[in-house]
Amino acid sequence: MTETTEAVAELLTLDELTKRVSMSVRNVRFYTTRGLVPPPVRRGRSGYYSAEHVVRLELVRELQAHGFTLSAIEGYMARIPSGASPETIALHRTLLAPWMAELPDTMSRRELVRRAGRPLSDDDLDTLNALGIVVPTKQGRFQVAPSHLVVGVALLDLGLPSEAALAAQDIFTAHGRAIADELTELFRTQVWPAYKEAGASPDELREVVERFKPVSIAALVAAYESAIDEAKRETIARRAR
């Protein structure tokens, strides 16, 4: 049993629940009406909340913090079986965290230029915005994905037409999503059950996921390089014929 589950072995009042998950009463009730968490457990005329409510709300908060829209959160939560135990739901959060994209930083244009390491023209900012890397705010500042900024600036330095940069981004996004979906399914159907059967703790499973992330990136780079070499050989062979 996880620490979170042990801490809420007994039922909580609504006030105790809101303090535990750092949410307002209004938000808890809203997520309940949306079906993201089950209705409270009734004891006479009073409603109480269990470990399942806690871990589901913590998962909702985690998804929300990483920029998931309400509809995306609903879609994710809908894939969790209704009879899932609190331990299983907590494990979803454990598996999710290492793969989450970093939260964006909010910065001024001066800070953005400093982080980019080069001047950024209005056209450059338009391209980075179209790529989803730099998003202007109403306060005249920018929300920036720091790790993606390096990639965006590299594309600008290549001098690619903005249309080509956007087309390349679409390719990366489409194939990246397909790979992510397939790897997620692999973990869900093969890795997770095996470790769960072996009695691995959430911390141990998180460590496996964290270690797998750089390995998978290295494997993707190697596969991409091999595919490029193969494509070159096929092109040369066709021209020779």
**Threshold 0.85, pTM exceeds:** no
Q: How many helices (H) and strands (E) does the chain have?
A: 12, 5
Last residue of a domain, one of 71, 100, 129: 100
- In which domain, by residue range, is 121 found? 105-168
> Do 54 and 133 belong together in one domain?
no
Scan for tokens 């072996």, then name that residue: 198
User: Residue 90 has what pLDDT?
Assistant: 73
| 233 lies in some domain | no
Last residue of a domain, one of 151, 168, 185: 168
Q: Is residue 118 exposed (0-12), middle (13-18) or buried (19+ Cβ within 10 Å)?
A: exposed
User: Looking at the 3D structure of the chain, how many domains does it have?
Assistant: 2
> Do 11 and 93 belong together in one domain?
yes
Count of beta carbons in the 10 Å neighbourhood of residue 72: 12
Last residue of a domain, one of 116, 139, 168: 168
Which residues, including other chains, have CB under 8 Å from residue 124's CB and lie 6 or more apart? 156
Which residues, including other chains, have CB under 8 Å from residue 169's CB and lie 6 or more apart? 131, 132
pLDDT in tens, the chain (241 residues): 444 444 445 789 999 999 999 999 999 999 999 999 999 998 888 899 998 999 999 889 888 877 778 888 888 888 787 778 887 787 677 666 656 566 678 899 999 999 999 999 999 998 898 888 898 988 889 988 888 898 889 988 988 788 888 888 888 878 877 887 787 778 778 887 888 788 877 677 777 777 877 787 788 888 888 988 888 888 888 888 7
Backbone torsions φ then ψ of 26, nearest 5 degrees: -60, -45
